Amino acid sequence: METSAEGCSAALYLEGAIYQRFEVKPRGHSELILQQMDDLLQEHGVALKDLDAIAYGRGPGSFTGVRIAAAVTQGTAYGADLPVVPVSTLAALAQQAFRTTGHRHLLTAFDARMKEVYWAAYQIDQSDLPIVVIEEQVIAPEAVPLPIGDKWYGVGSGWAAYATQLRPMTTNLVIDIESRLFCQAYDIALLGAAEFQRGNSVPAEQALPIYLRDRVAQTIIERQASAKKA
């Protein structure tokens, strides 16, 4: 499931095929995502307990959005006794850009507000999956680290929000930009299935959001640790 921005989507990975429900809706994701999940399961005759795991977009993204995905995943997986697979929304955006354009060198940027950008770089490997070139981070757009080489493809809302800062810096690096793509559950499912097959799943209670910006919010684990010290 993916609810980190205006797009809300659920996807079902079933024997190599992926089926998705996607809707752009700025509010009401908590109700919509449950309906999307239920519709997919009923349509394909699958019970929740029949799944191997639940993957979710763990962030970065909007504070409320990533919290919804983590909370719904945690509650759903716990009730069905399923493991969960956290997936980076920036990696999923890179995967979507490759899936829809064929570009294999992706510079991903989400608008993080507060004059900052969520930033990462990925290269698509021989398995057609993203490998991290520059780790995800929240940073001022004029200070973003740039990868080596050229023919990179810029993708994500940050390229529109901070065009004045980013485009002059990347003139000789980026061949094209698509700022209108929304992260989708289709790619969360694809990456989640790959991670699950590698053994990279965690218990339901560890379905946590990742915000990247410490001064805005802390993860649940960090808050619990702080409470114990107090």
User: Do the Cβ atoms of 59 and 66 come closer than 8 Å?
Assistant: yes
Residues 11 and 84 grouped into a single domain: yes
Q: Is residue 96 part of a domain?
A: no
Residues 41 and 20 grouped into a single domain: yes
Residues 84 and 187 grouped into a single domain: yes
Q: Considering its fold, how many domains does the chain have in total?
A: 2
Residues 144 and 210 grouped into a single domain: no
User: Among 163, 178, 193, where does a domain finish?
Assistant: 178
Nearest to 156, CA basis, from 66, 100, 94, 69: 94
Q: Is residue 2 part of a domain?
A: no
Residues 109 and 57 grouped into a single domain: no
Provide the pLDDT for residue 226: 45
Residues 187 and 168 grouped into a single domain: no
Provide the pLDDT for residue 78: 95
Q: Is residue 95 part of a domain?
A: no
Q: Is residue 83 part of a domain?
A: yes
Nearest to 68, CA basis, from 119, 115, 15, 7: 7
Residues 114 and 156 grouped into a single domain: yes
Provide the pLDDT for residue 26: 79
Residues 34 and 65 grouped into a single domain: yes
Q: Is residue 93 part of a domain?
A: no
Residues 31 and 143 grouped into a single domain: no
Q: What is the 3-state secondary structure (H, E, C) of the chain?
A: CECCCCEEEEEEEECCEEEEEEEECCCCHHHHHHHHHHHHHHHCCCCHHHCCCEEEECCCCCHHHHHHHHHHHHHHHHHHCCCEEEECHHHHHHHHHHHHHCCCEEEEEEECCCCCEEEEEEEECCCCCEEEEEEEEEECHHHCCCCCCCCEEEECCHHHHCHHHHHHHCCCCEEEEECCCCCCHHHHHHHHHHHHHCCCCECHHHCCCCCCCCCCCCCHHHHHHHHHHC
Where the chain has pLDDT below 50, the residues are: 215-230
Q: Is residue 165 part of a domain?
A: yes
Residues 11 and 79 grouped into a single domain: yes
Burial class (CB in 10 A: 0-12, 13-18, 19+), 57: buried
| 0.95 exceeded by pTM | no
Residues 161 and 57 grouped into a single domain: no
Residues 20 and 62 grouped into a single domain: yes
Q: Is residue 132 part of a domain?
A: yes
Provide the pLDDT for residue 214: 58
Question: For position 76, which CATH number holds?
Answer: 3.30.420.40
User: Do the Cβ atoms of 120 and 108 come closer than 8 Å?
Assistant: yes
Residues spanned by the domain of 63: 7-88+183-229
Q: Is residue 145 part of a domain?
A: yes
